[in-house]
Structure 1
Amino acid sequence: MLEQLAALSDVQIELHAGGLWLGNRRQQMGKALRDYVRPHDERIESLTGQRFGDRYFNELLLDSRHRIDSEPPIRAILAVITLGGDGMTMLHRIQQSYYRDGLWIGDREQLVSLAAEQNIERNAFISAYDEVDLAKHLNESQNWLMRLDGSGYPTLGLERDGQLLPVQVSRFYGDPEGIRQHVTQMLFS
């Protein structure tokens, strides 16, 4: 859906991370977590058509050496944006790496390699990654969520002429063309 919206010439997408798996909400990976998330992921797949890879379900989620953690990918996306890269592209590559390919994206080296796909130099990325003010970003995200009267993620909003309008994203799961048409209508009505 975001790719469809990003293709609209009158739309500029600004990403705001929610931080679902931070602090005491970080969960140990292993069979219990896999069994917990699998029905949710299968529901997402049936609603949206987005595929989850076998390696994700049968290897990554079972790897108890890791804790599911939102911080590394959020830092990586914000670092890429800071360095002039495309945050949407980084988000997409992180999601593909994790959910499709079953790669651990909590590893900074994996994130360095994804940033390098945008010709972002390793040391610059690491420096920007380490300097991200995560607390400030998450606070700003919560403020946007409240302004949109959102209840979770994903939440989308359209800011037009100083007015913030919620986009009912759940209506368009599996229908990216529909959300593009809906937002186009919102822009010009």
Structure 2
Amino acid sequence: MKKITLHIIVDPLCGWTYASVPLIIAAESTVGLTVEIHNGGMLTGHNVKPVSAAWREFAIKNDSIIAQKTGQLFGTNYTDGLLKMSGITLDSAPAITAILAAQELGISAGEMLSSVQHAYYAQGQNIMQLNVLTEVAAELGLNKRTFETHFNALEGDATAQHIAQSRGLLREINGEGFPSAAFEFDNCQWQHADIASFYGKTAQWSNYLRQSLALG
């Protein structure tokens, strides 16, 4: 069988990535398809963003559209709690490091991404904090101390390198923000995967993936 890899470029603090989580989980469950998740670091470095009234207004408006399209849950601890707290700076890097650490320990990137975003959007937890990320990892069956050891090793340069590579791939496939996706075939050919067309349509997405495997 020919190898086909679906590359998906995401960010854990991106609402539309949260919209795509059911699609990512379905892709990871598709027999014969290899899935690679790349974290683009939307809010990292100079782009970290303090939570403000203006940001809250933007987020609530955007999130309501996502909820209508997908049914994804945005809890009151997020909308009326976390987004109203002062002194919080949104930074994607800790969650990205957590996803990389979980992968090293045998948890799929999609599963960890899903759990991290559920903690943030549904439960209103501050996923910039290591103790929160550790609890998420523990709920997936990982040992807390082992997870934190891997997290500490990947924090900083390794995470920055992953983000840089992800952004490079985003440019190469002419991606338009997060999430963006493309198939890579074993003959080194690439093909755009229109993941945004399938928000809230997981069954249709699974059919699309199977059809793409057949064509490949």
* TM-score with structure 1 setting the length: 0.93
User: Could you tell me whether the CA contact under 8 Å between 1:21 and 1:68 is conserved in 2?
Assistant: yes
What is the match of residue 8 of structure 2?
Answer: none
Offset at residue 54 of structure 1 (A): 1.4
Structure showing greater relative contact order (alpha-carbon pairs closer than 8 Å, 6 or more residues apart): 2
Percent of paired sites with the same residue: 29
What is the match of residue 138 of structure 1?
Answer: 163
User: Could you tell me whether the CA contact under 8 Å between 2:40 and 2:164 is conserved in 1?
Assistant: no
What is the distance in 1 between the residues matched to 2:40 and 2:108?
A: 19
User: Could you tell me whether the CA contact under 8 Å between 1:160 and 1:187 is conserved in 2?
Assistant: no
User: Could you tell me whether the CA contact under 8 Å between 2:79 and 2:124 is conserved in 1?
Assistant: yes
- Is the aligned partner of 1:157 residue 2:179? no
Partner amino acid for 2:72? Q
User: Could you tell me whether the CA contact under 8 Å between 1:90 and 1:115 is conserved in 2?
Assistant: yes
| CA offset digits 1:115-159 (Å, max 9, x no partner) | 112332223222211222012101211222122211211011122
What is the match of residue 29 of structure 1?
Answer: 51
Which secondary structure does the structure 2 equivalent of 1:50 belong to? coil
What is the match of residue 173 of structure 1?
Answer: 199
Offset at residue 90 of structure 1 (A): 1.1
Which secondary structure does the structure 2 equivalent of 1:14 belong to? strand
Give the number of aligned pairs: 189
Partner amino acid for 2:162? H
Offset at residue 4 of structure 1 (A): 1.6
Partner amino acid for 1:188? A
Unaligned ranges ≥5, structure 2: 1-22
Instruction: Give the alignment of 1:2-81 within 5 angstroms.
Output: 2-81=24-103
Offset at residue 47 of structure 1 (A): 2.1
What is the distance in 1 between the residues matched to 2:52 and 2:167?
A: 30
| CA offset digits 1:91-132 (Å, max 9, x no partner) | 111111100111111110111111112332223222211222
Unaligned ranges ≥5, structure 1: none
